[in-house]
């Protein structure tokens, strides 16, 4: 992309603005992990006036990869039961998705992933049983590595939200965004 994804426009607001606006209805706390252009993201988020729910955390190791941002976010969310790990390039998930998704949590699993027509998507709900595993993993790890650990108890939620596959990596992806 030739644009900075978090601040790309979608339906009159930035990607990050759209996502946070929807999440604030379904989540008790929203942790936004920044790195590159952190000040620009923070300024954009401050326009939401949701300061009581939002915590912005800077990841000084952001250049080492996305997994370090997940580790930083989980470090800040240690007191949470569940963490909804959300990518910034999924601004089109409808608000109802989040309410339907968090209803899937239960004590029999610690990893919940949405599925549409047998294909896995994102975001992912991660139970606090997995927090230490993720925090203590190598910074070059990834969610696939984590998901293969025997302590991970997965649940796949079959849903009707095709937006779980949004992944805006090219200008063509962006133009197809509805």
Q: What CA–CA distance (Å, rounded) separates 137 from 68?
A: 10
CA atoms within 13 A on the CB side of 121: 22
pLDDT of residue 50: 66
**pLDDT score for 44:** 85
In the three-class reduction of DSSP (H, G, I as helix; E, B as strand; rest coil), residue 83 is classed as: strand
pLDDT-flagged residues of the chain (< 50): none
**72-113: pLDDT as tens digits:** 999 999 889 999 999 999 999 999 999 999 999 999 999 999
CA distance 165 to 96: 16
Q: Where are the domains of the chain?
A: 5-176
| Domain 5-176 CATH superfamily | Spore Coat Polysaccharide Biosynthesis Protein SpsA; Chain A (3.90.550.10)
């Amino acid at each position: 992309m030739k644009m900075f994804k978090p601040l790309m426009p979608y339906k009159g607001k930035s990607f990050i603005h759209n996502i946070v606006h929807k999440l604030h209805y379904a989540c008790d706390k929203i942790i936004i992990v920044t790195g590159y252009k952190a000040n620009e993201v923070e300024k954009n988020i401050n326009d939401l006036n949701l300061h009581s729910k939002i915590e912005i955390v800077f990841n000084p190791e952001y250049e080492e990869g996305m997994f370090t941002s997940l580790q930083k976010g989980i470090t800040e969310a240690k007191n949470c039961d569940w963490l909804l790990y959300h990518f910034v390039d999924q601004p089109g998930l409808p608000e109802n998705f989040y309410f339907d998704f968090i209803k899937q949590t239960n004590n029999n699993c610690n990893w919940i992933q949405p599925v549409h027509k047998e294909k896995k998507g994102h975001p992912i709900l991660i139970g606090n049983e997995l927090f230490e595993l993720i925090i203590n993993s190598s910074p070059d790890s990834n969610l696939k590595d984590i998901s293969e650990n025997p302590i991970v108890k997965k649940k796949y939620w079959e849903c009707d939200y095709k937006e779980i596959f949004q992944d805006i990596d090219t200008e063509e992806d962006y133009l197809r965004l509805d």
